[in-house]
Amino acid sequence: MVLTPYRHRTPHMPRYLALSLLALAFSCAAPSLDVSREELDPLLVAGDREAVDDLLGRGMDPGFGLVRAARVGSLPMLEHFLALGVDPNSSLDDGYHSTALMAGASGNHPEVIAPLLAAGADLDQQDTLGDPAINWAAYMGHEEYVRALLAAGARSDIRSPHGDAFEIALRQGWRSMIVLLSSEPASGLEGTARDLVAAAIADDSVGVARALSEGASPDTRTAAGVPVLALVAELDHVPDVRALLNAGADVDAADPIGFTPLMAAARGGAVAAIRVLAKAGADLEHRAEVQGMGMSALHMAAAKGRTAAALELLDLGAWANPRNARGETALMWAVTEGHPETALALLRAGSDPDLADEAGYTARQAAKDFEYVELLAAME
């Protein structure tokens, strides 16, 4: 759900000098001008209306301009496009049918939300994978944008193959956003359980030890269902990990989307915690639930570019070619999430670049698409 580079063919518009006539020209048809984001974005950031209007007059798609204005956070130019009558729900032929609200989420520009809504933007419009703008913001970790969407009335329960906003934030490990998207963050937590969760969230090792000594269960979970062991494992707080395990914590306790403490540690690049959890018997090949896309610990390390964690998992015996629910390998995730160094390490450790997902896509093809020259050379 990340906006990717593309070029966009657009309907032809005759040149008009008056902006009011430019607005009327949007309905004219016939493909004409190709404009790249590399060409347009600097003009939007500079607020160069004259140059942008020239592009419009020569055939640039106004919807493309609106979406890019939202992506770069150019409020004056976004308002300019809206004043010209551009549809605030315009979606692009970019593989996602992304809208301005989604682009704003990707760029973390909450200031674009109000004018788009005032112009009639659909808060809950979904892309081709079923993700609305709030899911985009949750994926990127853009909490301010999520807050603004929620304040405007956006639904947070729209579930795509990636999950809903809460499940996406949970998978990504955005702690404060997880709390934000939990309906009642403190519900059901009292006494020492509340103290233990608070200490874990605050990175307070002394507080964790105190809560355990006062009787808190080592299997305590946050109101969002995340085991405390997963919280401290992701932070690589080895004394806390050991304290919880010694107190009897379930080493493979999973959160609501099936992520275990080992997976949390892999996501956080917590190499020492990975070793401790593995020694305690953590399942190296555990797969998440459907809402967690069937990911493994190696997938998590790869997706976050945690090279040392990925290699540690492999050294401990993790399979080099795990597949998630869509058949995607950890290597593929390293490539598509923009971590060529991690991908290269996985490749050298035995990951297969030619294993296809359910759509027939491979890590080799992804490396070509992303133009990772060194990685491609290593695949030969």
Task: Say yes or no: do domains 219-314 and 320-380 share a fold.
Answer: yes
Which tokens hold the place of 249?
Answer: 């914590």
User: Is this prediction's pTM over 0.75?
Assistant: no
**Quick one: pLDDT at residue 32?**
60
Give the torsion sign (CA, 193, 198, 203, 207). negative
C-alpha span between 331 and 336 (Å, rounded) = 9
**Segment 101-119 mean pLDDT:** 98
The tens digit of pLDDT for each residue in 196-238 reads: 988 887 778 899 999 999 999 999 998 778 899 998 999 899 9
Structure tokens at 195: 């103290």
Indicate the domain borders of the chain.
7-129, 219-314, 320-380
Residues of the chain with pLDDT > 90, as a percent, come to 74
What is the rounded average pLDDT of the residues 255-270?
95
CATH code for the domain defined by 7-129: 1.25.40.20
Pick the CATH number of 219-314 from 3.40.50.720, 1.25.40.20, 3.30.9.90, 3.20.20.100: 1.25.40.20
Assigned CATH for 320-380: 1.25.40.20
Helix, coil or strand: residue 85:
coil
Q: What is the pLDDT of residue 183?
A: 55
DSSP assignment of 215-251? T--TT-B-TTS-BHHHHHHHTT-HHHHHHHHHTT--T
At 145-200, the pLDDT tens digits run 999 999 999 999 898 878 889 888 888 888 788 878 875 444 567 899 989 988 88
